Amino acid sequence: MYAAGRLRAGRWAGLLAAALVVAGCASDGVPPPVDPALIQKSEPGNADRPAFFVQWRARLPGLTERPSIDPSTKLPKYPNAALRDEAEGTTSLETCITTEGKLVDIRIANSSGNLSLDEATIEWAKTAKYKPAMFNNEPFAVCGYKLDWVWQFTAPVP
């Protein structure tokens, strides 16, 4: 009797396993996993980039959430030199965002035309909090992500 019970349990377990495999193959609107062809490996000795990452582009297969700045992040302070000069502009950064939401490998893609605004953007971006890109609801590092910060001067009201 013990052997027969075990055999039945084995059959049920096999049927359950087969059902789970079939259910896992269904594509009920679940995005595909990250395409292995998209995953890149950092060059040896480049400690600034994540070991593995996806090169950012507008439409990535499997992307369920774009990287973003965490709403709790404080806004950058307008640099005093830029205030004196009433400088304005947009600083565009190209960067990597790790799975932990840390910004690394930061470089200026397009300058605002004002050194103090560009430097302030980089310093702020290093301390800001980010939410990583999500692929199939799993965090994944992305590189080549563009972040634009628009600096607009408004004169104080007397």
Summarize pLDDT for 21-61 with one digit per residue, the tens: 333 333 445 545 666 667 777 777 667 777 777 777 777 78
Bridge partner list, 55: 143
- The amino acid present at 66, given as its one-letter code, is R
Q: Which two tokens stand for residue 59?
A: 């439409």
The pLDDT value given to residue 13: 34
Average pLDDT of the chain is: 77
Whole-number pLDDT of residue 113: 96
**Gap between the Cα atoms of 108 and 149, Å rounded:** 11
Q: How many other CB atoms are there within 10 angstroms of residue 53's CB atom?
A: 25
Rg, C-alpha atoms of the chain:
24
Give yes or no for a contact between 130 and 97, defined as CB atoms under 8 angstroms apart: yes
Class of domain 31-151: alpha beta
